[in-house]
Amino acid sequence: MKKYLVILIISLITFAFSVDIYFYQTDIRDALNQLGMQEGVSIIYDPLISGFISVEAYNITLEKALDLMLLPLGYYWTKIDNVYFVGTANPDSPNFALISKKYLLNLRFITFDDLYNALPKIMTNYIYKTPNKNQVLIYAPAKIASQIAETITLIDKQIPVAEIQVKIIEIDESDFKKFGVSWNNEENNTTSYNNGNLQLSLNPLNVNFNIIMDTLISSGNAKVLAEGTLKLKSNSTSQITGYTTVGFTIGKDNTYVEKKINTQIIISGHVFTDHANLTLKSIVESFIQNSSTFTPVGASVETNLDIKYEQPYYIAGLSFDSVTKQDGGIPGLKDIPIIGNLFKNSTYTSRKKNIVIFIKARLAGEDL
């Protein structure tokens, strides 16, 4: 009995792998008809399928034969009861549902919109949004769905986030020179706006400013206009704005006027596990003097900066002339009511001011 059982099993295995196919430049519909007649099975197909195949294989299963025949043309098959149906992977086909299944996948670190933008275009035809932004519905033939799911596992990764410490610092150019730093001698100058009084640029300074800046800030010779820690992930944007004033004298009587300067730093770019590639954009809004009137001006400049984590970077951001007013006079007499003005005097000093942008980044290690 055991002997007959072994022979029966071997016979069934041999029968299962007994399909031979040979087609040369044959219409796929004719080839499917011939295969169905040859193996005594029912094979029907979507009327939209077309094309010619050339394939040769021996001693394979019927399912493998169908795979080899349909692969070059991008068609798929399914078995419904005892009937094989061949269809197209076009979602617009009326018979698409016969060869497709629905799969619901959870997204761990990205949203559907992130996924849609990252997937190859051909795969986006088979994914659909659900009420849950952290889920995706795949509606496709099993093999396409498997490829999409595999691709999603490569995309759905924890997104690196960088914490970027930013300071906008105002310094007298004379204090720069005390330390042997020349603003104008930096390489790769990218000044994009210059009206004589206001020069806007974004140039990495080739000097280690750590000790210099700490000394100037602690002594009051440098002023921090704005500081903060910005969280940034790839393709996101963060910004910080600093304010200062620029002094002018107008008219024959040297009337002293102050106007505000806004410096806005916008940071975007790509965050990686070992560095960040940042795009820095500086936008400045101020005034220029025309005799006794002032005209609003605005300018912007943009640069790219590749930074390593935990390393400080200093960038030349803005240079402008400002008049400083200092009141003096005869001590005691200048403070007498009514007549005190007779004993007062004011001195005006023109100074070149520089605004430096300090940046230091670290990997935060978690998504926003």
Residue 2 pLDDT exceeds 50: no
124 shares its domain with 252: no
pLDDT at 90: 92
Ranking 7-16, 142-151, 228-237, 263-272 by mean pLDDT, the lowest is 7-16
Q: In this predicted model, what pLDDT tens digit does every residue of 90-137 receive, in sequence order?
A: 999 999 999 999 999 999 988 899 899 999 999 999 999 999 888 999
> Closest Cα to residue 47, out of 78, 88, 76?
88
Domain for residue 195, yes or no?
no
79 shares its domain with 25: yes
Q: In this predicted model, what pLDDT tens digit does every residue of 190-233 receive, in sequence order?
A: 545 566 566 766 677 766 677 788 888 888 888 999 999 999 98
Domain at 63, CATH number: 3.55.50.30
Domain at 113, CATH number: 3.30.1370
Question: Does the predicted model carry a pTM greater than 0.85?
Answer: no
Q: Tokens standing for 259?
A: 């106007």
116 shares its domain with 250: no
What is the four-CA torsion angle of 148, 150, 155, 159, rounded to 10 degrees? 140
Phi, psi of 361 (to 5 degrees): -120, 155
Ranking 57-71, 256-270, 285-299 by mean pLDDT, the lowest is 285-299
104 shares its domain with 51: no
Q: When comparing pLDDT for 250 and 113, which is higher?
A: 113
Instruction: Give the number of other Cβ atoms within 10 Å of residue 182's Cβ.
Output: 11
Q: Which of 61, 86, 111 corresponds to the end of one domain?
A: 86
pLDDT at 213: 81
Domain for residue 197, yes or no?
no
CA angle 174, 175, 176 (to 5 degrees): 90
Domain for residue 185, yes or no?
no
Residue 175 pLDDT exceeds 60: yes
Instruction: Give the number of other Cβ atoms within 10 Å of residue 50's Cβ.
Output: 12
Instruction: Give the number of other Cβ atoms within 10 Å of residue 233's Cβ.
Output: 17
Q: Which of 52, 86, 120 corresponds to the end of one domain?
A: 86
149 shares its domain with 266: no
Q: In this predicted model, what pLDDT tens digit does every residue of 17-26 receive, in sequence order?
A: 589 999 999 9
Domain for residue 3, yes or no?
no
227 shares its domain with 316: yes
Residue 260 pLDDT exceeds 90: no
Q: When comparing pLDDT for 150 and 7, which is higher?
A: 150
82 shares its domain with 47: yes
pLDDT at 17: 53
Task: Quickly state the pLDDT bin for 162 (edges 50, 70, 90).
Answer: very high
Domain for residue 72, yes or no?
yes
66 shares its domain with 103: no
**How many domains in the chain?**
3
Q: Which segments of the chain are extended strands (E)?
A: 19-27, 42-45, 52-60, 75-80, 83-88, 101-106, 127-129, 135-140, 161-172, 193-194, 198-204, 222-233, 237-250, 255-271, 275-290, 293-308, 312-329, 344-363
Task: Tell me which residue range forms the domain holding 166.
Answer: 160-180+206-361
pLDDT at 184: 56
Domain for residue 348, yes or no?
yes
141 shares its domain with 222: no
> Closest Cα to residue 316, out of 193, 225, 208, 190?
190
165 shares its domain with 300: yes
52 shares its domain with 171: no
Strands 75-80 and 83-88 turn out to be antiparallel
pLDDT at 248: 81
146 shares its domain with 239: no
Domain for residue 198, yes or no?
no
Residue 6 pLDDT exceeds 70: no
Phi, psi of 295 (to 5 degrees): -110, 125
Domain for residue 244, yes or no?
yes
pLDDT at 139: 97
H helices, E strands: number in the chain: 8, 18
Q: In this predicted model, what pLDDT tens digit does every residue of 219-231 receive, in sequence order?
A: 888 899 999 999 9
